[in-house]
Amino acid sequence: MTDTKFPGWHGTTIIGVRKGSQVVIAGDGQVSLGPTVIKGTARKVRRLCPGGNDVVVGFAGSTADAFTLLERLEGKLEATPGQLQRACVELAKDWRTDKYLQKLEAMLIVTDGAELLIITGAGDVLEPEHGIAAIGSGGNFALAAARGLQETDYSAEEIARKAMAIASDICVYTNGNLTVEVISK
């Protein structure tokens, strides 16, 4: 069955990997409209610095919706400096209860180097098991690859890059043009 809902955006693979004191979020650069690649160099991983505290965010879903959520998250982080989980829970509450925000179609992976969280529009703030979070159409492929590489001597960045390469070989909505942000605590 084909989804006829316009614009029919597909894609993105975002992965977060924690290993040792390092956390990495990596995302591909492909934006697709149906079966057509619209852009191959999108930047879906961003570094926010509210109040001087570094936070890295990767997003999947509608770009405009994700930017709206990033702005809201930045506001929550400024209101609760150094409290990533609290800021994320406050965002998820707003997302779940605000009629405007409820229509937003995106997901976020967020880290401050100490915590690694997934935020969804269903009101979820999830801390993934095994220190690996993945979202988007190729997320399950990247997650499986990263889990398989986790016990190796590879760094968090090497695991993220290899997992993304595997996902981009499998998922047609994911490319190998990566944005990678590393943060340590």
Q: Tell whether 39 is covered by a domain.
A: yes
Q: Tell whether 87 is covered by a domain.
A: yes
Q: Tell whether 4 is covered by a domain.
A: no
Respond yes or no: is residue 12 known to be catalytic.
Answer: yes
pLDDT at site 10: 54
Segment 21-41 shows an average pLDDT of 92
CB-CB contact of 136 with 13 (8 Å): yes
Total domains in the chain come to 1
8, pLDDT greater than 70: no
Residue percentage of the chain with pLDDT more than 90: 72
This prediction has a pTM of 0.91
* pLDDT tens, position by position, 53-97: 899 999 998 888 888 899 999 999 999 999 999 999 999 998 888
* pLDDT tens, position by position, 153-169: 999 999 999 999 999 99
CB-CB contact of 112 with 126 (8 Å): no
Give the active site residue among 2, 12, 63, 120: 12
Q: Tell whether 3 is covered by a domain.
A: no
pLDDT at site 9: 45
Q: Tell whether 158 is covered by a domain.
A: yes
Write out the residue range of the structural domain in which residue 16 sits: 9-176
Q: Tell whether 51 is covered by a domain.
A: yes
pLDDT at site 61: 87
Q: Tell whether 42 is covered by a domain.
A: yes
pLDDT at site 123: 84
Q: Tell whether 167 is covered by a domain.
A: yes
Q: Which residue has the higher pLDDT, 105 or 177?
A: 177
- The CATH number of whichever domain residue 40 belongs to comes to 3.60.20.10
